[in-house]
Amino acid sequence: MNLILGILTLISPWVLGYSATQGRATDNAVLFGILIGLAAIAAMVNLRAWKAWINVIFGAWLFLSPWALGFAGVAAAAWSAWVLGALVFLLALWELGTDQRIGGWWSHAH
């Protein structure tokens, strides 16, 4: 799922139409779309907890980036980062909590 979210993040500047006017937002979406996708692929090949933690960090950054990089006032770019960042963050946490292959705490509680 995070691979799909990484691809959506990567293409969001063009799909949502802010690529021509928002350089920082576009660069951020492209870079973190690629990084999220690569981390997701790496986790699919050989799952380790640290790989899921990387997407927790990437998701958190993506969510905070509109404020940190100054594009919170650009609705399409900001909402894309907030929604996709939150989803990446939450899915990575869910994976950490439920996947028995990496010692998910939730999977042992039930």
Mean predicted lDDT score pLDDT of the chain: 86
Tell me which of 23 and 85 has the higher pLDDT.
85
State both tokens at 33: 């779309």
Q: What percent of the chain has pLDDT over 70?
A: 87
Q: Percent of the chain, pLDDT > 90? A: 57
Q: What is the pLDDT of residue 107?
A: 47
CA separation, residue 53 to residues 3, 19, 63, 79, 108 (Å):
15, 29, 15, 23, 19
What's the pLDDT score for residue 101? 58
Structure tokens at 5: 């979210």
**pLDDT tens for each residue of 23-65:** 899 999 999 999 999 988 888 887 667 777 898 999 999 999 9
**Cα dihedral 15, 20, 25, 30 sign:** positive
Residues 6+ apart with CB under 8 A from 75: none
Segments forming the whole domain that contains residue 29: 2-109
Q: How many domains does the chain have?
A: 1
